[in-house]
Chain A
Amino acid sequence: MIDNGLPEGWELVVGLEVHVELATKTKLFSGSPNRFGDEPNTNIDPVTLGLPGALPVLNEHAVELAMRIGLALNCTVKPSTFHRKNYFYPDLSKAYQITQYDEPLNVDGFLMLPGGVRIGVERAHMEEDTGKSTHFGGAGGRIHGSDYSLIDFNRAGVPLVEIVSHPDVRTAEQARQYVNELRAILVAVGASDAKMEEGSMRCDANVSVRKYGAALGTRCEIKNVNSVRSLGKAIEYEARRQIDVLETGGTIRQETRHWDETDGRTHTLRTKVDANDYRYFLEPDLVMLAPDAQWVERVRAALPVLPAARRTNLAALTGADEDSEAIAVVVERGQDTYIEEVKNAGGDAGRALVWVQQSFAEEGNAPRLPAKDLAALTVLERDGKLTATQAKTVLGDMLETGGGDPAAIAASKGFEALDTSVIEGFVDEGIAAQPDAWAKYCAGEEKAMGALVGTIMKLSKGKADGKVVTAILQQRRGS
């Protein structure tokens, strides 16, 4: 049974609803710019403001990006329609949101988590964003009780895709993995920058618990989760809250709950009883959206290699574990092609992966350092001409100057790999200084080797090659 961190016998069931803002130049139904961070109420027009007589016209590029998302999530692209979702709120300029309802564009897909867990994707549909309200005075930043409110309509009409998963998520960690993987896919296909902190990616979680084998429990929808870390914490808190209620004989009420980052709890936002009746009906100002098969195939053919496949490829190239952090991080940064270039330039892909992960965080997908220079460095390292510590120093210089011959830099710094006979001397000194560790190591305790290597490296002032030291120690133990 999977470890979900919950009391014995309880199963966690989570479905996720992720909203992403599409990286279009203009809005979903008008020509105003879709741009974050501009002066409030500058990216507006009659359609955005819902002025009388204004009509929506669907943005073709938004449809294309929505299809990219659907196809990357293994969905079927279908003829679809738009509906009006009616409710009153000051930042909803028309008093209805145009959204896809019973006939969404993308249906029946899935996403594979690292480790082979399959999360079903029910649908990925298009809709428009609302404006952004800010409430001043009063308590809790809510409109009720505030002194006044300001609305920025720049965000109104920004294209969104809402990706709804099946309730297939079983642990908080899977939820985090799902959102991270989804984010990586969205960025890879160029559909969105998917930044949770800027609100271009938002995540709601439908959480319920049940005894293993029992029917699905009543779910609560958790909103206001602003980071992947919070998502995990909110799900864990909510699951425990529901178990507490159930174990003390209570029942779960279907409701929407608000995650409060400061107190680490969820609070009732609204119950099912006071839920809006949205009076959905077909949007008469738009026609059916039915992308023809050629368009769908064109979009499919143009999809880039997705993160999961890139991780597999990079793992094969470097010999690293496919689920390792190094692989995930480097693929997310888009630096896997760079490592391929290093390899093609005769370099050691495994060492390149280490350096790229550690030192290229700010470098983006096209690092300044010529691939052949990093290749040369990894060759020196592989051949024992430079220790890891020395290589790091040389790399630092290379990054500062934008490249160069690592052998020449090493020579100018007086880095020469120590002769094995000299290292043997340091090993003798090390064993003498750490008799207990040596005894433990000889008794088969592998962990003890760390202390020995550390001491020997210190004695050599970092000049000994760690790999050579390890080899000598293993040889002496006779293993």
Chain B
Amino acid sequence: MTNFSTATSIAHNVASGAQSAASVVEEHLQRIGQREEEVHAFNLVTSAEARERAADLDARIARGENVGPLAGVPIALKDNMCTRGVPTTCSSKILEGWKPPYNATVVDKLFAAGAVFVGKTNLDEFAMGSSTENSAFGPTRNPLDTSRVPGGSSGGSAAAVAAGFAAVSLGSDTGGSIRQPAALCGVVGVKPTYGLVSRYGLVAFASSLDQIGPFSHSVADAALLTEIIAGHDPMDSTSIPKPAPSLVSVLGRGVEGMRIGRVADLPEGADADVLARLDAAFVALEKAGATIVDVKLPSLSYALTAYYLIAPAEASSNLARYDGVRYGNRVAANDMNTMYADTRAAGFGDEVKRRIMLGTYALSAGYYDAYYGKALKVRRLISNDFAAAYANADVILTPTSPTVAFPFGAKTDDPLTMYLCDIFTIPTNLAGHPAMSVPFGTGQANMPVGVQILAPTLGEEAMFKVAAVLESAA
């Protein structure tokens, strides 16, 4: 893998004057120029704005200003985060051309930290998918092997970092949409505790599961980004009313004495090469002084089913606003109902339609109790199982994805096969816990394998300590 500069080193160099923000941006724009056509990580590259911003930062630094902890760091944003005056499409035709009049809270925070935005990244339409093949604007390719998918739904953000188009990026994770593409592209990906990072300005897929998090080359970068975007936001009622945790400072502390959970009843389906890397990770942690303990998560096998009722149910409601009345694309018709139907038929892709129908059905009178209601009960069971497991373990290790990056079209014929990509990542979202994927060697076809670290609510410190040890052992 190419050795790209980390955000930490860029910020240090730019702030100290060793390197200009302008040169950092040019370096990244140059790589975009060389490979973006092939990779298609972006829906939009904002070169002009990035250059202008870098020049402004350089001028401020020359005046002796402290421009923030991300001074001059090129960042890519998943195209489902609102950026004022800059198109935000969710890779959907229905929102093509829509320019939000406001910034997502995370965007304001990154800007205040001195970051430089280089573009909006491709995703599975409305973040529904695990390969970025569901984008209305064409798939993103895995920079490590362009015949393979980058994972999804934040495939563009993962690919942008893996290809060196941006030092770091933000994605959103509803059922694994940060961690799975991070694993498939060989980068670090974090889904923080639900409520740690504000969702204000993140276009909702499933509100009770969505969470924004970073992609990066290093664990330290991921910790830095998480610190910066975390913290209470009065604009998000589900935001945890606590200050952001201190994470960079815990990275060197090691795992001595920590209890690492191994799931004894892990659902089947992971490939042998992936499981081999997981075993190697346990060995590495044990060598670093941690204890491996067996935990049981019996309800885990129901997680996927529960998720595919809860997430589509919320999505069916969240996506109802795309009706052609106030913004986005409209297909004109002679009466209201036809306008609604034609607009939505033309504007949404198959996977989005599939989930809207599934979710509508699950919430319907006469079916609510059997489907949505039961899924909520499973969700509670999963939380209970995790609580019991965390009584004996500080973190739990699982594979991130059951396989390495797969070729295009391999899973597009059968939605259920595609849904299984998230079997190890979904339980975390249902519980609202943090989890992250750290690259830990390679598997089949020399493609990267990610190991997933799960932690209880606000257990980011323990999670990052383990991640730092795995990173140095990889």
Contacts and interface: CB of A to CB of B under 8 A. Distances in A.
B237 A287 contact: yes
A50 B322 CA distance: 10
A279 B363 contact: yes
Interface stretch (A85-93, A180-188, A230-238, A411-419): A85-93
A53 interface: yes
A281 B204 contact: no
B423 to A, nearest CB: 23
Interface in A36-65: 46, 49-58
B21 interface: no
A291 to B, nearest CB: 15
Contacts of A151: 325
Contact of A57 (B208, B237, B313, B320): B237
Contacts of B203: 52-53
B122 to A, nearest CB: 17
Given A52-B100, A53-B82, A284-B207, A84 B317 contact: yes
A143 B336 CA distance: 8
A366 to B, nearest CB: 39
Provide the main secondary structure of the chain A interface: loop
A95 B320 contact: yes
B420 to A, nearest CB: 25
A54 to B, nearest CB: 8
Interface string B5-46: 000000000000000000000000000000000000000000
Interface string B358-382: 0010011100100010000000000
A135 to B, nearest CB: 10
A88 B238 contact: no
A144 B337 CA distance: 10
A53 B200 contact: yes
A22 B462 CA distance: 47
Nearest to A281: B363
B95 A52 contact: yes
Contact of A95 (B202, B313, B323): B323
Contacts, number: 99
A144 to B, nearest CB: 7
Interface string A278-296: 0111001111000000000
B104 interface: yes
A88 B208 contact: no
Nearest to B325: A90
A90 B235 CA distance: 25
Nearest to A91: B325
B365 A86 contact: no
Contacts of B314: 281, 284
Contact of B237 (A49, A53, A96, A285): A285
Contacts of A281: 313-314, 317, 363, 368, 372
A53 B208 contact: no
B277 interface: no
Contacts of B200: 53-55
Interface string B70-81: 000000000001
A94 interface: yes
Contacts of B316: 86, 279
Interface in B281-324: 313-314, 316-317, 320-321, 323
Contact of A144 (B335, B340, B365): B335
Query: Which of the listed residues A46, A55, A84, A95 has the most CB atoms from chain B within 10 Å of its own CB?
Result: A55
Given A90-B336, A281-B313, A281-B363, A53 B320 contact: no
Interface string B194-225: 00000111111011100000000000000000
A247 interface: no
Given A279-B360, A279-B364, A286-B237, A51 B317 contact: no
B409 interface: no
Contacts of B364: 277, 279
Contacts of A285: 204, 207, 237-238
Contacts of B320: 86, 88, 94-96
A92 to B, nearest CB: 9
Contacts of A144: 335-336
Nearest to A56: B237
Contacts of B336: 90, 143-144
A128 to B, nearest CB: 14
B63 interface: no
Contacts of B199: 53, 55
Interface of A: 46, 49-58, 84, 86, 88, 90, 93-96, 143-144, 151, 277, 279-281, 284-287
Of all A-B residue pairs in the complex, the 4 with the closest CB atoms, nearest first, are A95-B320, A284-B208, A279-B363, A284-B207
19 contacts: A49-B326, A50-B326, A52-B82, A52-B100, A53-B82, A53-B200, A53-B201, A54-B200, A88-B340, A90-B323, A94-B320, A95-B323, A151-B325, A279-B360, A279-B363, A280-B363, A281-B372, A285-B238, A287-B238
